[in-house]
Copies of this chain bind each other. A is one copy, B any other.
């Protein structure tokens, strides 16, 4: 039966079977033009007959293109990053490329190790959510590369794809205004985080447009976690206030924590307190009430990132920064004060 049981058929097996040279076989399989239709057919049949499958290792070696891309994200277990990975995966597959996925756990060393692995694997390029602050580990990457997520801003020379924070904040704030909450309290991430500054800047821009004094919005900080949000909300509730309280949290986890704090305090969301989140994680859907939130387009970001990476690989184009629009997911954590403003007396105007 020709080839032995343990050996995968090579192009030589195909060539022999078709009675041509291996280069002719290769040409036929590659769809090259300088080939008799009849020969091509014979080769294709032979390939099928022996069960030939192109060896991408060999192709990659010869052509310098492995057909693989790397993806380094903080944690595939995080729903946002899973979404990104899914988008990247699908887009890559559509182009016949495969994705090597790694989780860095926000650890610069792990990130560096993964990048090294990707380099050795000879991926054609990589998409990275940069953790490392120093450019050192990253610029030495020496491969086409595109950054993703808010931390990408730190690196002026590298193209990036991310969500449009300014648009997202405006979307959320506009929605709050429409519901009768003009100046919500803010629950933000740690001061050290770049995302926090961008979020706050967008809030200020909105305030200028709407002629609101940003200073009247209470702000609490916390870690980007449920516990962080819970504690921040607790502090917010301890402050004196009149009427309904509306809160815009910079992250769904924090928003979920905030809702817990509301319950802890014996209050009701959305009756006493309105909460707006930011991210769009699935858990928000099953909270009670459902968490209204501004959803980041994780999947689209992943897809767009792969496209951008391909550009980077092929044309080495001008550096680009792409922001994908977010959208509002209305569920139930926001009270509608707009129609009953008169009834709410003092509180309604202020909040």
Chain A contacts to B: CB under 8 angstroms: 8, 53-58, 60-61, 66-68, 75-77, 79, 82-83, 85-86, 89-90, 93, 96, 98-103, 113-114, 116-122, 142, 226, 256, 263, 282-288
Contact = CB atoms under 8 A, between A and B. Distances in A.
Contacts of A77: 79, 82-83, 86
A121 B102 contact: no
B120 A56 contact: yes
Contact of A61 (B58, B101, B284, B286): B58
Given A82-B82, A122-B55, A101 B103 contact: no
Which of A57, A117, A121, A142 has most B Cβ within 10 Å?
Answer: A57
A121 B98 contact: yes
A56 B122 contact: yes
Contacts of A76: 76, 82, 85-86, 89
Given A83-B77, A263-B288, A89 B61 contact: no
A167 B90 CA distance: 36
B121 A56 contact: yes
Contacts of A8: 142
A117 B92 CA distance: 12
12 contacts: A56-B120, A57-B61, A68-B100, A75-B86, A76-B85, A77-B82, A89-B103, A90-B103, A93-B113, A96-B117, A282-B283, A286-B287
B100 A100 contact: yes
A346 to B, nearest CB: 31
B68 A121 contact: yes
Nearest to A114: B93
Contacts of A68: 100, 121
A347 B341 CA distance: 48
Contacts of A98: 100, 102, 117-118, 121
Contact of A288 (B60, B93, B119, B288): B288
A4 to B, nearest CB: 13
Nearest to A260: B286
A77 to B, nearest CB: 5
A98 B54 CA distance: 21
A236 B103 CA distance: 43
Given A77-B86, A82-B76, A283-B286, A53 B119 contact: yes
Contacts of A119: 53
Contact of A55 (B83, B89, B120): B120
Contacts of A287: 286-288
Contact of A57 (B53, B113, B122): B122
Contacts of A79: 77, 79, 82, 282
